[in-house]
Amino acid sequence: MWYSTVNYDYCIGNQQLDNTDMEKDLGIVITSDLKVSQQCSQVYAKANKILGMINRNITYKSREVLLRLYKSL
């Protein structure tokens, strides 16, 4: 079955609302095509940033300490 997409213009009073392709609500990224790739990329980048901070800032890197940190992440 084929569906076409129709874009509408919305107004509040006499002011037209801006169109957007992506919106973040309650920490979840919602795109106009409803795909999760943008959400996954942002979560992946954030996790890598935190893991990098752990690796740079922890001096005592025993297996037990790192395992607890990774699991808590």
Q: Is residue 17 in some structural domain?
A: yes
**Does residue 3 form part of some domain?**
no
CA–CA distances in Å: residue 70 to residues 1, 47, 52, 55, 62: 45, 10, 11, 10, 12
Residues with pLDDT less than 50, the chain:
none
Q: Where in the sequence is the domain holding 44, given as residue range(s)?
A: 11-72
Q: What total of structural domains would you count in the chain? A: 1
Q: Evaluate whether residue 58 is within a structural domain.
A: yes
In a domain, 64, yes or no: yes
- Which residues, at least 6 apart from 54, have a Cβ–Cβ distance to it below 8 Å? 66, 69, 70, 73
- Tell me what pLDDT residue 15 has: 93
Does 52 fall in a domain? yes
Distance CA 59, CA 33 (A): 44
